[in-house]
Structures are given as structure tokens and as C-alpha cells.
Structure 1
Amino acid sequence: MNPVTGLNLARIVLGAVALVSPALAAKIFRLDPGANPQLGYMSRMFGAREVALGAVTLAASGTSQRNLVLVGMAVDATDAFSGTAAGIDGSVTKATSGFLTLPAVGAVVAGAAALVMARR
């Protein structure tokens, strides 16, 4: 499967889960919705972003798709920063911080790999 397709299908699925079932998304991300009832709202915002970015990237082609992959990489890098910052400020445990950060870093790497492969 093309890395752009795989990455963005995963983005859409994760976003859809966050939109439809914020509690399940919180569980996947090892977050505690009971401690923060507003987490459902934030989860749905995250989900909408992921679905929109994934769908528009899959619908695009050429330079537009390349630019959207770069946008996705920037979003994923920010997610990685946020996961790390949450561990540093104590919002989540160090283990959860790693669990949040590593997949986001992986998505940045996957985006970079997709761009390299597209040049060939």
C-alpha cells in the first residue's frame, strides 16, 4: 500500500473513533475522561481535524498532496511535542507520555518516507 494512503486511512479511522466515541479514544490514548469531563469535546475536535486532513490528503494529487503530507507532518510533530510536554508537566504519566509521543513521531517519519518514495 502506498504510504500516503496507509497513513491517511489510519488518520481517518483514528479521527472517526475520536468523533464517534470520545470515551474509546480516551481509552486508546490512556487518558482519564472521568478526571476531565471536557475531554470529549477536545477528542471530537481532534477527530474532526484528523478526518478532514486525511480525507483531503487522499483526495489530492501531485504537488497539492505533497503539501498536505507536509501539513500532516507538522500536525503530527505538534502532537509529539504535546505528548512530551504532557509528560514533563505531569498532566500524564511518563509511560503515557511515551505512548502518546512515539506514534506521533512515527507518523512524521512515515510522512517523510512517503515524500521520499514519491520522488522516485
Structure 2
Amino acid sequence: MNPVAGLAIGRIVIGLAMFVAPRLAARLFQLDGSGSATPYIARLFASREIALGAATLATSGETRNRLVTVGVAVDAADGVAAILSNKSGDVGKIVTALLLAPAAGAVAVGLGEVVRSRSQA
């Protein structure tokens, strides 16, 4: 599978899981899913992931490259959010690592694809 399609499908799958079962998905990320705002906040995240993944799959060429770049920025922000949550004491080191790993991996894959596509142009 092409890495860009893999990232996009991964976004959609994670987004659907968060939208359909936000408390369960939060627990899978080792987050406290008991708060009354958890489902709403999770669904906000989910809708962004689904939209970005679907838009990426629906495009090609330079438009797709721009969406991958947007995805890199979103994933980098997710990584920063994990670090800030650790620094404020909201999550421990293990949870931070669980949150940071997929964000960092997605940034690396996305950047690699953006660089590769630009070098082919």
C-alpha cells in the first residue's frame, strides 16, 4: 500500500473508532474516558481525522501533497499536545509515549512522502 493512502486510511479508521466509541477509544490510548466532555471532544478529533483522511484519498497531485503537508502539521501538533500534557502532569510518561509514537511516525512518513513527491516533480 502506498504510504499516503496508508496514512489516510489510518486517519479514517482511528477517526471512526473515536466517533463511534469515544470512551473505549480513549481507554485504548490509556486516557481517562470518564469525563462528561470526553465523547464530545473525542468526536471533534474524530471528525477532523475522518475529513483529512477522506480528502487525502479523494485527491491527487499537488492537492494531495498539500493535504499531506497539512496532515504533518496536525500530527506534529498532536505530538506537542502529548508533550504538554505530560509536562502539566495530566498524563504520565508511558501514556505520553503511547500518544507521541503514532504522531511522530505519521510526521516522519508524511514528511518523507512530501519530500519524495517534490523531488519527482
Alignment TM class, shorter chain as reference: over 0.9
Structure 2 counterpart of 1:89: 88
TM-superposed CA distance for 1:42, in Å, is 0.6
Q: State the match for 1:25 in structure 2.
A: 25
Paired position in structure 2 for 1:115:
114
**TM-score calculated relative to the size of structure 1:** 0.94
For residues 32-90 of structure 1, give each alpha carbon's deviation from its aligned partner in whole angstroms, at most 9, with x where no partner exists.
112x2211111000000000000001101111000000000000000000001101101
Match of 2:60 in 1: 61
CA contact (8 A) 2:65 2:114 kept: yes
Q: For structure 2, list consecutive stretches of 5 or more residues without a partner in the other structure.
A: none
Match of 1:3 in 2: 3
- Other-structure match for 1:12: 12
Q: Shift of the alpha carbon at 1:117?
A: 3.3
Contact kept? 1:80, 1:105, Cα under 8 Å:
yes
Identity, % of aligned positions: 44
- Runs ≥4 residues deviating over 3 A: none
**What SS does structure 2 have at the residue aligned with 1:46?**
helix
Q: How many pairs align?
A: 119
Note the aligned Cα RMSD (angstroms): 1.0
C-alpha contact 2:24 2:33 (8 A) present in aligned 1:
no
CA deviation after TM superposition for structure 1 residue 4, in Å: 0.4
Structure 2 residue aligned with 1:52: 51
| CA–CA separation in structure 1 for the residues paired with 2:6 and 2:101 | 18
Q: Residues 80 and 100 of structure 1 are in contact (CA less than 8 Å); yes or no, is this contact kept in structure 2?
A: yes
Determine the C-alpha separation between the residues in 2 that align with 1:116 and 1:3: 13
Structure 1: which 5+ runs fail to align? none
User: SS where residue 47 of structure 1 aligns?
Assistant: helix
Whether the 8 Å contact between 1:57 and 1:65 is mirrored in structure 2 is: yes
